Amino acid sequence: MEDDAVRCLRERRPMTAHRAELLELMTDTREERRHWIDVNKPSITEVVAKYPRLQDIDTAVSFCVDRNVG
C-alpha cells in the first residue's frame, strides 16, 4: 500500500502555495525513497513517475541531497 505522503507528492500540483509542504514531504519520505531506489534500482523515468516533484520543483533534488550530506 502506498504511503499517503508519497501519493500527495505525486498528486499535489507544484504551485507556490504548496512549495513548503511539498519540500517537507520530500524530507519526510527521503528514507523510504532511498530504500525503494536501493532495492528496486528503478530507472530515472520510474523515479520521476513516482516522485514527479523531483522534476518540477527547481530545488527539490538539491534540497534532498543537502539533507544527506554530513
Q: What is the pLDDT of residues 5-32, one digit of tens each?
A: 778 777 777 677 777 888 888 888 888 8
Higher pLDDT, 43 or 48: 43
Nearest to 19 by CA among 62, 66, 67, 58: 58
* Total structural domains within the chain: 1
Domain that holds residue 33: 4-68
The predicted pLDDT at position 65 comes to 54
The C-alpha atoms of residue 9 and residue 21 are separated, in whole angstroms, by 9
Query: And the C-alpha cell for 45?
Result: 523515468
